[in-house]
Amino acid sequence: MGLGSALGQMFSKILIANRGEIAVRIIRTARRMGIRTVVVYSEADATSLAVEMADEAVAIGAAPAAESYLKADRIIAAARETGAEAVHPGFGFLSENAAFARQLEAAGIVFIGPGPDAIAAMGDKIESKKLAEKAGVSTVPGHVGAISTVDDARQIAREVGYPVMIKASAGGGGKGMRIAWSDAELADGFRSATNEARNSFGDERVFIERFVQSPRHIEIQVLADAHGNVIHLGERECSIQRRHQKVIEEAPSPFLDEATRAAMGEQAVALARAVGYRSAGTVEFIVDPDRNFYFLEMNTRLQVEHPVTEMVTGLDLVEEMIRVAAGEKLRHRQEDIRLNGWAIEARIYAEDPERGFVPSIGRISRYLPPEEKDGVRIDTGIVEGSEISMFYDPMIAKLITCGGTREAAIERMAQALDRYYIRGISHNVPFLRAVVGSARFREGRLSTAFIDEEFADGFSPEVTDAEQARILTAVAAVIHRRRVERDATISGQLPGRERVVATDWVVLLDREPHPVKVEAETDHLLLQIGEESCRVSSGWAPGCPVFAGLVDDTPVAVQVDPDGAGYTLTHGGASVRALVLSPRAAELAALMPVKQPPDTSKQLLSPMPGLLVLVAVEAGWEVKTGQELAVVEAMKMENILRAERDGVVKAVLASPGDSLSADQVILEFE
């Protein structure tokens, strides 16, 4: 178990074998505990926030993870060189690598996590399912064994019954997973799942289990020490997912009752005991509409979404992991655990929701997060000027809010997202705001198909209701008046020709006209928008990127970006161009033609930067709607591009192995 565990003494120095927000997160807890920290870093992270915050930093290689963060020998050498007594792996990279844990143990360095045997047992999805069944844990019907050929997979799928889930045995993070509803889909899914498993984990084994329809993804946080004590800390609802990757999580679940929560907790604890678990870990379940639950997998590490559990229990899971690794007994019994209030986490990614969530790479030119107060927490590893690299997960930050009720936590989340100002790269903040603002989310009617069903035609940041249009119209009129008021004070104006602040305007929201009259009162502006009136008060001044104030008595935050003669306003998941004109200018603007975008209907474009893995057609071939045309790999995920309509291939303009940019033409059609 390592020196620290054997002696039961707290560490004086630990090494963090990770990067980004989780490295910063661990540093903060270690600092509070009086423990010095060492971070390892790649060439891409030399100027990162984690490197700046840590007491010591050691370079371990080039930017690709395979040449740095996955090099166990370099990490161990760094620990020896700096005198670190223990290593915290965070999540991802080597956090669930049993061989790494054994190497640390052999080197006399404590692994802040479970023992290697538990990691190995739970890391193999096939073996973990067998162990779960022996421990009395409910499991999904399926074939518990590796499948080597498409023919075998097809036969097993027919026996299990469609729809089925094809899953990588060594999988995680949504990689190596495909749903198949028929024999035809099974062949494509089997190939892609196998390829992703091989590329991501070096293990191409896959298995098949029944796909539970309309499921929720609910997980139980467990905590165990080396003295036989195991407890659970309640559940997290992680059903808002995209391509099997979590987007929004919350604790507790709005779906579970006390009986189901207790039963799931008992089974999670039983599984942890069965594998001799110690440290923090998570047992994941899928739950059907009747609250029947089935074991999915056990993650033998800290979860990305652990903050929501911390917010409702008051525990610091990183601290608990460190204390357990140092040989201490758990400081809490099961009866001590209480879930107080509600917490929600939104994962903020560098990606473009309007283009199918393709990753966005580049430098963050402006970064103005909401204030961390009144139930708002931000876990991040970036600052203004940070680079989002193609080599790692595109996460920018995790935004966590809490409140006494679920409604209060949601409202804080909505307000915080409206204030989260990020520029320089594309990001998913407007999409997250649209999710938490949707009626279905607020009602708690969740499933893992939520995003596919609610955004079936993709995401478009458009104004969706009259109230949102009213708020944006009011804000546009107010910020424009403030600019005009400032211009009216400029010196050197000709006598008798001074700038006059008008009261009548027309606000064009994406060319839709909204007549507005603006009158100044003592401490607010009074607006007449069509037949309705409203009061707006705010301290906003020209140049401020976020308008914060009250529209009537409702707190409102709107992001403001200059856009030519107008503004781009972002609020409530919508992003619109606002142009404020005099009534006469608005009449003339209505006569202006609208510029049409170029026609790309006869081209297949790469939806993202990535590697072209496969071109499945040749020039002259006839293709049918839905036929596979090409496969592009990005962030180790395979993306199959299919024909949107029948046609004939005119030319193939890219070859397998090419590195593609976003919108690069792959095929042309006649």
Whether residue 132 is found in the same domain as residue 248:
yes
Whether residue 274 is found in the same domain as residue 135:
yes
Concatenated DSSP letters for 77-135?
HHHHHHT-SEEE--SSTTTT-HHHHHHHHHTT-EESS--HHHHHHHHSHHHHHHHHHHT
Whether residue 572 is found in the same domain as residue 526:
yes
Read off the pLDDT of residues 186-235 as tens digits, 9 standing for 90 and up: 999 998 888 888 877 778 888 998 888 889 999 999 999 999 999 999 99
Whether residue 451 is found in the same domain as residue 319:
no
Q: Is residue 40 part of a domain?
A: yes
CATH number of residue 46's parent domain: 3.40.50.20
**Residue 654, pLDDT score:** 95
pLDDT at 353 over 70: yes
**Residue 1, pLDDT score:** 39
pLDDT at 35 over 90: yes
CATH number of residue 312's parent domain: 3.30.470.20
**Residue 205, pLDDT score:** 87
461-465, 593-597, 609-613: segment of lowest average pLDDT? 593-597
Whether residue 543 is found in the same domain as residue 584:
yes
**Residue 85, pLDDT score:** 98
Tokens 């009074």 sit at which residue? Answer: 526
Whether residue 264 is found in the same domain as residue 297:
yes
Whether residue 407 is found in the same domain as residue 480:
no
Q: Considering the chain, what is the average pLDDT of its residues?
A: 93
**Residue 177, pLDDT score:** 86
Mean pLDDT, residues 518-540: 91
**Residue 635, pLDDT score:** 63
Three-class SS of residue 189?
helix
Q: Is residue 422 part of a domain?
A: yes
Whether residue 256 is found in the same domain as residue 288:
yes
**Residue 210, pLDDT score:** 87
Structure tokens at 170: 């060594």
Three-class SS of residue 220?
strand
Structure tokens at 407: 């409604």
pTM of the model: 0.86
Q: Which helix (H) or strand (E) holds 61?
A: strand 56-61
Confidence of residue 2 (pLDDT cuts 50, 70, 90): very low
Q: Is residue 230 part of a domain?
A: yes
Q: Is residue 309 part of a domain?
A: yes
86-88 sheet: strands from edge to edge: 56-61, 36-42, 13-16, 86-88, 110-111
Q: Is residue 598 part of a domain?
A: no
pLDDT at 393 over 60: yes
Residue 297 bears catalytic tag:
yes
Q: Is residue 273 part of a domain?
A: yes
DSSP code, position 331: S
Distances (CA, A) of 657 to 26, 216, 421, 567, 660: 38, 38, 37, 42, 9
The one catalytic residue in 204, 235, 250, 297 is 297
Mean pLDDT, residues 567-586: 95
Whether residue 219 is found in the same domain as residue 334:
yes
**Higher-scoring residue by pLDDT: 598, 102:** 102
pLDDT at 428 over 80: yes
Structure tokens at 528: 């007449």
- Relative to beta strand 647-652, strand 665-669 is antiparallel
Q: How far apart are CA 453 and CA 441, in angstroms?
A: 12
**Residue 173, pLDDT score:** 61
Question: What proportion of the chain, given as a percentage, has pLDDT over 70?
Answer: 98
pLDDT at 4 over 80: no
Dihedral of the alpha carbons of 58, 63, 67, 70, in degrees to the nearest 10: 70
Tokens 């067998």 sit at which residue? Answer: 130
Q: How far apart are CA 316 and CA 321, in angstroms?
A: 9
Whether residue 409 contacts residue 341, with contact meaning beta carbons closer than 8 Å, is answered with yes
Confidence of residue 6 (pLDDT cuts 50, 70, 90): very low
* Cα three-residue angle 609-49-634, rounded to 5 degrees: 15
**Residue 174, pLDDT score:** 67
Three-class SS of residue 279?
strand
**Higher-scoring residue by pLDDT: 98, 145:** 98
**Residue 94, pLDDT score:** 97
Q: Which residues of 200-224 are buried (b: 16+ CB within 10 A; e: fewer)?
A: bbebbbbbbbbbbeebbbbbbbbbb
Read off the pLDDT of residues 57-87 as tens digits, 9 standing for 90 and up: 999 999 999 999 999 999 999 999 999 999 9
Which of 119, 99, 109, 115 lies closest to 78, judged by CA? 109
CATH number of residue 616's parent domain: 2.40.50.100
CATH number of residue 204's parent domain: 3.30.1490.20
What residues pair up with 527 in beta bridges, in sequence order?
518, 534
Whether residue 34 is found in the same domain as residue 100:
yes
Residues 6+ apart with CB under 8 A from 472: 463, 509, 558, 569, 571, 574, 576, 578
Distances (CA, A) of 331 to 220, 334, 441, 469: 19, 10, 36, 52
Q: How far apart are CA 249 and CA 344, in angstroms?
A: 6
Whether residue 69 contacts residue 94, with contact meaning beta carbons closer than 8 Å, is answered with yes
* Cα three-residue angle 261-267-273, rounded to 5 degrees: 135
pLDDT at 526 over 60: yes
Residue 190: how many CB atoms within 10 A of its CB? 23
**Residue 231, pLDDT score:** 98
pLDDT at 5 over 60: no
Read off the pLDDT of residues 17-28 as tens digits, 9 standing for 90 and up: 999 999 999 999
Whether residue 272 is found in the same domain as residue 351:
no
pLDDT at 587 over 50: yes
**Residue 608, pLDDT score:** 80
pLDDT at 3 over 50: no
Whether residue 301 is found in the same domain as residue 436:
no
- Domain C-terminal end among 546, 561, 589: 589
Read off the pLDDT of residues 250-279 as tens digits, 9 standing for 90 and up: 999 999 999 999 999 999 999 999 999 999
Concatenated DSSP letters for 146-175?
EE-SHHHHHHHHHHH-SSEEEEEEEEETTE
- Domain C-terminal end among 165, 192, 210: 210
**Residue 488, pLDDT score:** 86
Which residue segment(s) compose the domain that 433 sits in? 342-460
- Domain C-terminal end among 210, 244, 268: 210
Number of domains in the chain: 6
Residues 6+ apart with CB under 8 A from 81: 58
Q: How far apart are CA 218 and CA 448, in angstroms?
A: 10
CATH number of residue 519's parent domain: 3.30.700.30
Which of 203, 297, 197, 209 lies closest to 637, judged by CA? 197
Q: Is residue 595 part of a domain?
A: no
For the chain, counts of helices (H) and of strands (E): 18, 39
Q: Is residue 596 part of a domain?
A: no
